[in-house]
């Protein structure tokens, strides 16, 4: 078994109101050192084997369902076996 991680983030030029809300809350909690926050999504896909075929399939899954290419970028990586 292997685990593939797909990270989805709003494109840099797209406004991220959720990240802004989180950022806005930090000073109220006494944290002053953070200059910006962007909020994304992390998907963990459990697969039998993270071979090239499966990775190519996950790329397609990430590009069609997990992310919307109009507003989001994604990265795919295999999690290190621990």
Residues that bind another protein (CB under 8 A): 10, 14-15, 17-18, 20-21, 65-66, 68, 70-71
**Least spacing, CB of residue 38 vs another protein, in Å:** 13
Q: Which of 59/72 has CB closer to another protein?
A: 72
CA angle in degrees (0–180, nearest 5) for 26-27-30: 95
CA distance 67 to 27: 31
Cβ proximity to another protein: between 39 and 54 the closer is 39
CA 41 to chain centre: 4
- Name the minimum Å distance from CB 46 to another protein: 18
Q: How many CA atoms lie within 13 A of 71 on its CB side?
A: 9
């Amino acid at each position: 078994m292997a685990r593939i991680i797909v990270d989805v983030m709003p494109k840099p030029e797209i406004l991220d109101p959720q990240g802004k809300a989180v950022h806005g809350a930090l000073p109220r909690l006494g944290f002053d050192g953070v200059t910006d926050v962007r909020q994304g999504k992390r998907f963990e896909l459990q697969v039998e084997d993270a071979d090239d075929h499966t990775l190519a399939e996950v790329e397609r899954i990430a590009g069609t369902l997990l992310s919307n290419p109009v507003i989001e970028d994604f990265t795919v990586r295999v999690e290190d076996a621990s």
